[in-house]
């Protein structure tokens, strides 16, 4: 049995490359989704009872910078989750190709995220004029 106690300094030095990066970004994306849902529920609740803070919370999560950052986490979480699901469905055939699957995932993510960012920016500019 191996010792799994790893110090924080050792963990931060780990250079797991693609698989480790997708692991960390998947967790960050899930956290961002939880933050958005919480903000949305709180904003709606406070607006219903007439508190001004509800408007402030709503202004935060409808702002373009928040949307762009949120879309990064949400889209990555979704696309990475689909990769994980596909690999789990056919583990004996696809697990040997997990690094190639990560490359395909990043290509798809960059294309979808790029489209989402451009759409958000052009919509924001159109609303300003």
The answer as to whether 29 is a domain residue is: yes
Q: What's the confidence (pLDDT) of residue 12? A: 63
Residues (pLDDT < 70) of the chain are 1-4, 6, 8, 10-17
Q: The domain spanning residue 66 has which CATH number?
A: 1.20.1300
Task: Tell me the two tokens of residue 44.
Answer: 């709606």
Distance CA 60, CA 68 (A): 12
Q: What's the confidence (pLDDT) of residue 9? A: 74
The answer as to whether 3 is a domain residue is: no
The answer as to whether 1 is a domain residue is: no
If you average pLDDT over every residue of the chain, what do you get? 89
Region of residue 63 (phi > 0: left; psi between -120 and 50: alpha; otherwise: beta): beta
Burial class from Cβ neighbours inside 10 Å (0-12, 13-18, 19+) for residue 30 reads middle
The answer as to whether 31 is a domain residue is: yes
The answer as to whether 72 is a domain residue is: yes
The answer as to whether 35 is a domain residue is: yes
Distance CA 104, CA 70 (A): 22
The answer as to whether 2 is a domain residue is: no
Instruction: Map residue 39 onto helix, strand or coil.
Output: helix
The H or E element containing residue 107 is helix 98-128
pLDDT digits (tens, 9 = 90+) for 33-66: 999 999 999 999 999 998 999 999 999 988 999 9
The answer as to whether 80 is a domain residue is: yes
Task: Tell me the two tokens of residue 97.
Answer: 């190709």
Provide the domain count of the chain: 1
Please give the residue range of the domain that contains residue 101: 8-128
Backbone angles phi, psi at 7, to 5 degrees: -70, 160
In eight-state DSSP terms, residue 96 is: G
């Amino acid at each position: 049995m191996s010792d799994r106690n790893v110090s924080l300094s050792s963990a931060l030095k780990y250079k797991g490359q693609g698989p480790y990066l997708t692991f960390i970004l998947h967790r960050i994306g899930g956290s961002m989704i939880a933050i958005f849902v919480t903000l949305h529920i709180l904003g709606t609740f406070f607006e219903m009872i007439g508190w001004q803070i509800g408007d402030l919370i709503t202004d935060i999560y409808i702002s373009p910078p928040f949307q762009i950052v949120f879309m990064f986490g949400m889209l990555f979480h979704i696309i990475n989750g689909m990769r994980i699901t596909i690999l789990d469905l056919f583990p004996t055939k696809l697990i040997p190709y997990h690094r190639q699957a990560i490359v395909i995932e990043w290509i798809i993510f960059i294309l979808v995220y790029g489209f989402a960012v451009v759409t958000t920016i052009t919509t924001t500019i159109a609303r300003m004029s």
